[in-house]
Amino acid sequence: MRGAARALRAAAAPARPRAMIQDQSRSHPTGAPWRNFYGRIHGKALKPNQRRWLEEDLPRLSPGPVAWDENPKRLPLDPEAVFGGRPVWLEVGFGGGEHMVHQAASNPEVGIIGAEPFVNGVAMALGKVRKAGVGNVRIHAGDVRDLLDVLPEASIARAFVLYPDPWPKARHHRRRFVTPEHLDPLARVMAPGADLRIATDIPDYVRQTLEEVPRHGFDWLAEGPRDWRAPWDDWLPTRYERKALREGRRPHYLTFRRVRPSQPA
């Protein structure tokens, strides 16, 4: 219930510019670590049916207690129990949920956990989950770092990071997902042999991805240009990709495999 309540409070709050959100006191009574969060958590006012989905559906689709106020001891989740022993996939920043729901419908033999802090995107995804009638999706409406804290080691069989925020200015590159702050915990929760798919239309994001991800125990699986120019066989284009194509940018599809421990920093 707390996740849904936080999402509704965020949706009702006045819009703020896309900027850093932080706890100005630099501490938290739950003991949560100091983490800057960059980006938006809500946009336009939600429609009544979207607010209803947040109230009714988000609590039952929770993967378990993730936030620090509901799990201050950071006890690990039990995704095997949640999904009845099925392999578990993770989508980081699922946007409006079209890819996540497509994968869930196409792969009923797996469970999928999605993390997304943008409340409007969460509401859109809940509508898609309802329409598709899929039962193998769980949603964390918040920062993926909190979710990675409590996922068991080697519990994720596949992960998706699709069109993450590019943070194009050089001084903002440290905010990108492909940095040690995110890749260290992601590598911890991914099982040996698990695949990591990253899609982006920003050439410099490709550069940073190819530099950083292999340092965290992943091999890039490409053998030729087609391997990063052509989408995956089970790919569903997202609205972000369609926008990129309209604006003349070329998508890149990068596949990595978890094969070894991360290199020391």
| Closest by CA position to 198, among listed 149, 239, 253, 158 | 253
Neighbours of 233 (CB within 10 A): 5
Domain boundaries, the chain: 2-13+37-258
According to DSSP, residue 171 is labeled G
Is the pLDDT confidence value at 42 over 80?
Answer: no
Place of tokens 């409006």: 96
**pTM of the complete model:** 0.87
Domain 2-13+37-258 top-level CATH class: alpha beta
Residues shown for the chain: 265
Determine the pLDDT at residue 236.
94
Query: How many alpha carbons fall within 13 Å on the CB side of residue 143?
Result: 19
- Of 23, 143, 165, 184, the catalytic one is 165
Per-residue pLDDT of 129-169, as tens digits, reads: 999 999 999 999 999 999 999 999 999 999 999 999 997 88
Q: What is the pLDDT of residues 196-224, one digit of tens each?
A: 999 999 999 999 999 999 999 999 999 99
Going by C-beta distance under 8 Å and a sequence separation of 6 or more, which residues neighbour residue 245? Answer: 251
| Whether 149 is catalytic | no
Task: Tell me the average pLDDT of the chain.
Answer: 89
